[in-house]
A and B are shown apart, each in its own frame.
Chain A
Amino acid sequence: MRTMRNIQKWKKTLAIGAVMAMTVASLAACSSQSKPNAPSSGSAPASSAAAAAGGQTVSYRLGDIVNPEQTNNFNPFLKTGNYAPLFDYIYNSLYYFNPVKGELIPRLAADAGTWSGDGKSFTVKLNSQAKWQDGEAFTANDVVYTFQALKEHAALDYYRLWGDNRLKDVKAAGDDTVTFELSAPFPSLPNYLSTVYIVPEHLFSKENPETFLNKNPIGTGAFVFQSINESAIILKANADYFGGAPKIGELVIQRFKDSPGLTLALQKGEIQGSTGTLAMPSLPKLLENKDNKLQQYPGLSTYAVIINNDKPGLKDPIVRKAIQLAIDKKELVEKGEMGAATIGNPGFLSQGFGDLVDQTLLDNPDYQTNIDKANELLTGAGYKKNGKGVYEKDGVELSFVYYTAANAPAQNKEAAMITDWLSKVGIGTTIKMATWPELTSIAVAGNYDLIQNGITVPPDPQAALEVFHSKMTAPIGQNTPGLNWMRFRDDQIDAWLDQASTASAADRAGLYKQIQDRIAELAPVAVLYTSGKAPYSETKFTGYDTTVPATSALSLSQVTPK
Chain B
Amino acid sequence: MRNNRSKPRPRSGKAKLWAGACILLLFAAVSLAAAQIAPYPKNDIDFEPWLVPSAVHLLGTDSYGQDVFSQLVYGTRTSFLVGILAGLITTIIGVTVGVTAGFYRRWVSDALMFLVDLLLIIPIMALMIILASFLPSMGLTSIILVIGLLSWLYMARSIRSQTLSERQRGYVEAARVAGMSDGSIMRREILPNLYPIILANLVSVTTQAVLAEAGLSFLGIGDPKSVSWGTILALAHANNAIMYDAWWWIVPPGLATALFCFGFILIGNGSLERFRYKRGASQQ
Chains A and B touch (C-beta atoms under 8 A apart): yes
CA gap between A413 and B62 in the complex, in Å: 12
* Interchain CB contact (< 8 A) of B43 among A258, A285, A416, A438: A416
Instruction: Please report which residues of chain A, range 387-434, place their CB below 8 angstroms from some CB of chain B when the two chains form the complex.
Output: 404, 406-410, 412-413, 415-417, 419-420, 430-434
Inter-chain contact A412/B224, CB cutoff 8 Å = yes
Give the Cβ gap from B146 to chain A, nearest Cβ, in Å: 13
Given contacts A416-B43, A434-B133, is CB(A282)–CB(B240) below 8 Å?
Answer: yes
Closest to B226 in A: A431
- For this complex, 27 residue pairs linking A to B, each with C-beta atoms less than 8 Å apart, are A259-B238, A260-B239, A264-B243, A281-B63, A281-B64, A282-B240, A282-B244, A284-B50, A285-B244, A336-B64, A406-B133, A406-B220, A409-B235, A410-B239, A413-B64, A413-B235, A415-B224, A416-B43, A417-B45, A419-B225, A420-B43, A431-B223, A431-B225, A433-B220, A434-B133, A435-B133, A438-B133
* B175 at interface by CB-CB < 8 Å: no
Query: B237 in the interface, Cβ–Cβ < 8 Å?
Result: yes
Which residues from 57 to 72 on chain B have a C-beta closer than 8 Å to any C-beta of chain A?
Answer: 63-65
A interface residues with partner B (beta carbon < 8 Å)? 258-260, 263-264, 267, 279, 281-282, 284-286, 335-336, 404, 406-410, 412-413, 415-417, 419-420, 430-435, 438
Report B232-249 CB contacts with A as 1/0, cut-off 8 Å.
001101111011100000
**A432 CB contacts on chain B under 8 angstroms:** 136-139
Chain B interface residue count, CB cutoff 8 Å, equals 28
B45 to chain A: which residues have CB within 8 Å? 335, 417
Known contacts: A281-B49, A432-B137. The answer to whether A416 contacts B224 by CB under 8 A is yes
A108 to B200, CA, bound (A): 72
User: B130-143 CB contact bits vs A (8 Å, 1 = yes)?
Assistant: 00010011110000
Contact, CB under 8 Å: A264 / B242? yes
Known: A258-B238, A335-B65, A413-B64. A406 touches B221 (CB 8 A): yes
Query: With A264-B240, A282-B243, A435-B133 known to touch, is A407 a contact of B219 (CB < 8 Å)?
Result: yes
- Give every chain A residue within 8 A of B234 (Cβ-Cβ): 409
Chain B residues near A419 (CB-CB < 8 A): 225
- Residues of chain B with a CB closer than 8 A to A259's CB: 238
Interface residues of B (CB under 8 A from A): 43, 45, 49-50, 63-65, 133, 136-139, 219-225, 234-235, 237-240, 242-244
Check if B240 sits within 8 Å of A260, measured CB to CB: yes
* Cβ–Cβ contact B243 & A267, under 8 A: yes
User: Which residues of B have CB within 8 Å of A417?
Assistant: 45
- A281: which of B219, B220, B221, B240 is its contact (CB, 8 Å)? B240
Complex Cα spacing A412 to B138, Å: 12
New A-B pairs, 8, CB < 8 Å, besides A335-B64, A336-B64, A407-B219: A264-B240, A264-B243, A281-B239, A285-B240, A407-B221, A410-B239, A420-B43, A434-B133
Residues of the B chain whose Cβ atoms lie less than 8 Å from the Cβ of A282: 239-240, 243-244
The answer on a CB contact under 8 Å between A433 and B221 is yes
CB distance from A378 to the nearest CB of B (A): 23
Residues of chain A lying within 8 A (CB to CB) of residue B242 = 260, 264
The CA-CA distance from A409 to B50 in the complex, in Å, is 17
Asked if A410 contacts B138 (CB within 8 A), the reply is no
How would you classify the secondary structure of chain B's contact residues: helix, strand, loop or mixed?
loop
A282 to B223, CA, bound (A): 24
Task: Give the one of B50, B64, B243 with max A CB within 10 A.
Answer: B243
In contact, B239 and A409 (Cβ under 8 angstroms): yes
Residue of B nearest to A409 (CB): B238
Are A279 and B240 interface neighbours, CB within 8 A?
yes
Least CB distance, A249 to chain B, in whole angstroms? 30
Among residues of A, the one whose C-beta sits closest to the C-beta of B237 is A260
Shortest beta-carbon distance from B116 to chain A in Å: 30
Complex Cα–Cα for A150 and B18 (A): 74
For A404, list chain B residues within 8 Å (CB): 224
> Which residue of the partner chain A has the closest CB to B63?
A281
Chain A residue at smallest Cβ distance from B244: A285
> 3 closest Cβ contacts across the A-B interface?
A407-B220, A412-B224, A281-B63
A29 to B101, CA, bound (A): 47
CB of B240 within 8 A of CB of A263, answer yes
Contacts A335-B65, A407-B220 given; does A430 touch B137 at CB 8 Å: yes
Residues of A within 8 A of B65 (CB): 335
Closest to A432 in B: B137
Report chain A residues within 8 Å CB of B240.
260, 263-264, 279, 281-282, 285
Q: Does B238 lie within 8 Å of A410, measured CB to CB?
A: yes
Complex Cα distance, B8 from A556, in Å, reads 73
Shortest distance between the CB of B94 and any CB in chain A (Å) = 29
Interchain CB contact under 8 A, B43 and A431: no
Nearest CB of B to A450, in Å: 14
In the bound complex, do residue B235 and residue A433 qualify as a contact, i.e. CB atoms below 8 Å apart? no
- Least Cβ distance of A143 to chain B in Å? 43
Cα(A409)–Cα(B224), bound, Å: 8
B residues less than 8 Å from A264 (CB atoms):
240, 242-243
- The listed residue with most B CB atoms (<10 A of its CB), out of A263, A408, A409, A432, is A409
Q: Distance in Å from the Cβ of B223 to the closest Cβ of chain A?
A: 6
Min Cβ gap B62→A in Å is 8
Q: Are A433 and B223 in contact (CB under 8 A)?
A: yes
Point out the residues of chain B lying under 8 angstroms from A430, CB to CB: 137, 139
Residue of B nearest to A258 (CB): B238
List the B residue with the shortest CB-CB distance to A412: B224
A540 to B1, CA, bound (A): 65
Tell me, in angstroms, the Cα distance from A258 to B239 when the chains sit together: 11
Q: Judging by beta carbons under 8 Å apart, are A263 and B243 in contact?
A: yes
CA distance A407 to B218 in the complex (A): 8
B-side contacts of A336, CB under 8 Å = 64
Residues of A within 8 A of B224 (CB): 404, 409, 412-413, 415-416, 431, 433
CA distance A284 to B235 in the complex (A): 17
